[in-house]
Structure 1
Amino acid sequence: MPREIWLVFRRHMAVSLRNPAWVIVGLTQPILYLVLFGPLMERIVSSTPGFPQGDAWQILTPGLLVQLSLFGSLFAGFSLLADLTTGVLERLRVTPARRLSLLLGRVLHDTVQLLVQAVILILLAVVIFGLRAPLAGIALCLTMVALIGITLSAASYALALTLRSEETFPAVLTSISTPVLLLTGILVPITTNLAPHWLYTLSRLNPFAHVMEAQRATFRGEYTVDALLTGSVVLVAITALTIWWATTTFHRENA
Structure 2
Amino acid sequence: MTLLPVYTLWQREIVRFLRQKNRVFGAVGQPILFWLVFGSSFSASFRPQSFSNGASYLEYFYPGILMMIVLFTAIFSSFSIIEDRTEGFLQAAWASPAARWQLVFGKVLGGATLALLQAMVFLCFIPFLHLSLTLPSVIFIILVLFLTAIGLAAFGFALAWRMDSVQGFHAIMMLILLPMWFLSGAFFPSQGLPLVLEWILKLNPLTYALSLLRHMLYEAQNPMLSALPSFEISLGVTLGFSILTLIWAWKLSQKWTS
TM-score (structure 1 length as normaliser): 0.86
Counterpart in 1 of 2:204? 206
The Cα of 1:210 is off from its aligned counterpart by: 2.2
Counterpart in 2 of 1:230? 233
The Cα of 1:54 is off from its aligned counterpart by: 8.4
The Cα of 1:41 is off from its aligned counterpart by: 4.7
Paired residues for 1:43-82 under 5 Å: 43-44=44-45, 47-51=47-51, 55-56=55-56, 57-82=58-83
Paired residues for 1:3-18 under 5 Å: 3-18=4-19
In the alignment, which of 201, 215, 218 is matched to residue 216 of structure 2?
218
Q: Distance in 2 between matches of 1:9 and 1:248?
A: 20
Is the alpha carbon distance of 1:130 and 1:50 closer, same or farther for their aligned partners in structure 2, counting shifts above 3 Å? closer
Q: Distance in 2 between matches of 1:209 and 1:61?
A: 14
TM-score (structure 2 length as normaliser): 0.85
Matched, 1:188 2:188: yes
Q: Distance in 1 between matches of 2:34 and 2:50?
A: 22
Paired residues for 1:78-93 under 5 Å: 78-93=79-94
Q: Distance in 2 between matches of 1:54 and 1:105?
A: 44
Which shows bigger deviation, 130-139 or 72-81?
A: 130-139
Query: Given that residues 48 and 189 in structure 2 are in contact (C-alpha distance below 8 angstroms), is that contact kept between their aligned partners in structure 1?
Result: no
Query: Given that residues 74 and 153 in structure 1 are in contact (C-alpha distance below 8 angstroms), is that contact kept between their aligned partners in structure 2?
Result: yes
Paired residues for 1:102-121 under 5 Å: 102-121=103-122
Matched, 1:136 2:136: yes
Q: Distance in 1 between matches of 2:20 and 2:48?
A: 44
Partner AA of 1:86 in structure 2: E
Q: Distance in 1 between matches of 2:213 and 2:52?
A: 12
Query: Given that residues 58 and 220 in structure 1 are in contact (C-alpha distance below 8 angstroms), is that contact kept between their aligned partners in structure 2?
Result: no
Which shows bigger deviation, 49-58 or 164-173?
A: 49-58
Aligned residues: 250
Deviations 1:131-160 (A, max 9, x none): 524132222122111111111111111111
Deviations 1:151-184 (A, max 9, x none): 1111111111123333432222122112211211
Unaligned runs of 5+ in 1: none
Q: Distance in 2 between matches of 1:155 and 1:212?
A: 17
Counterpart in 2 of 1:166? 166
- 1:4 is paired with a residue of what secondary structure? helix
RMSD: 2.6
Counterpart in 1 of 2:25? 24
Q: Distance in 2 between matches of 1:58 and 1:119?
A: 16
Q: Distance in 1 between matches of 2:171 and 2:43?
A: 35
Unaligned runs of 5+ in 2: none
Deviations 1:160-211 (A, max 9, x none): 1123333432222122112211211212222x24x33442233222121122
